[in-house]
Amino acid sequence: MKGLVLSGGKGTRLRPLTFTRAKQLIPIANKPNLFYVIEDLVEAGITDIGIIISLETGDEVRAALGDGKEWSAQFTFIVQDQPAGLAHAVKTARAFLGDDPFVMYLGDNLLSGGIRHLVEEYRQGGADSVILLTPVEDPRQFGVAVLDEEGRVVRLVEKPKEPPSNLALVGVYLFGPEIHEVIETLKPSWRGEYEITDAIQGLIDRGYKVVAHQVRGWWKDTGKPDDLLDANRLVLSQIRRQIEGEVVDSQIVGEVVVEEGARIVRSVIRGPAHIAAGAVIEDSYLGPYTSVGREAQVIRSEVEYSILLDRAEVADLPYRLDASVLGQEVMVKGGENGPRRHTLQLVLGDRSRVKL
């Protein structure tokens, strides 16, 4: 069985962060989202992996992933010349996939519990395709599945105005080679894309058995800043305390990771939090669900429920920074050093400068 990871797209909902980076490489708890996807596939025994990349961000994805040896995997990079839908991505990868069954995994999705159980069930037979579902509050933003009384998928609709159920397709799909013949017959949807929901519906219409499972634990589509922060919260909630960096006259409470080379000086850290190598927290408060990237600095400031990417700098803020995402080498500085009675929320792209 092969893997197919989709790592293209423009990430418009994550701008300005994605003006300068691939959305799949934005870190969650100081690790790129895409790395969690690769780890899930490898843990399920899938090491021959095709990576769909775009013309705009493909070089960045190649550089981040390398040749796959870090994960004992083999990568084949496949350029999708236009973002024409998930089914189009499968068609683009046809030569790589051959007639092998495969797992398609969206590179900006985050899933707890892994996919091994899905892969094992597929390998045991009894299903021609396996899809993953989860209940959502607003199904109009997703592909939606309708199940019969036995739990088999009978109908799929892409982003319906009037959803027939609240079960949304999660970005993990298991297919056999028959999906290719269906995709060859597809026409663009009203959105101008070749929809994977139409392809799966084609399997159902041809009599193939499509089995659905609901997510074990949680799932996040990290397509918006709020989703990034929530994904960061979910991953940080699973970490375990590990203090390897330097801690001077500071208080560290709860599950906190301080990597080797990081320095905590005269500060309070309340976990869960992750502080990467080379980061400096000085005369500051770092609250729960915060990740601080490599060589980033928080000086005489208060930060919580936020993501600071590598080499971001926060200093002398007159407000508590909350629910914020700061890109690489962002600088946010204030002029006062007093009590933080109000909060400040920012989403800033790489190398932005803000003076308060």
Contact 147, 229 (CB under 8 A): no
Instruction: Report the alpha-carbon distance of residue 328 to residue 315 in Å, rounded.
Output: 15
Instruction: Report the alpha-carbon distance of residue 321 to residue 344 in Å, rounded.
Output: 5
pLDDT value of position 340: 63
One-letter amino acid for residue 307 of the chain: I
Low-confidence ranges of the chain (pLDDT < 50): none
Q: What is the number of residues in the chain? A: 356
Residue position matching structure tokens 């739990």: 151
Residue position matching structure tokens 């790592």: 7
- pLDDT tens digits, 84-97: 889 999 999 999 99
Contact 317, 335 (CB under 8 A): no
Its pTM stands at 0.89
Maximum separation of any 2 CA atoms in the chain, in Å: 68
- pLDDT tens digits, 269-319: 999 999 999 999 999 999 999 999 999 999 999 999 999 999 999 999 988
Q: Which domains does the chain have, with CATH numbers?
A: 2-223 (3.90.550.10), 239-355 (2.160.10.20)
pLDDT value of position 338: 55
Instruction: Report the alpha-carbon distance of residue 271 to residue 321 in Å, rounded.
Output: 16
pLDDT value of position 122: 87
DSSP 87-140: HHHHHHTHHHHTT--EEEEETTEEESS-SHHHHHHHHTSS-SEEEEEEE-S-GG
pLDDT value of position 337: 60
pLDDT value of position 11: 59
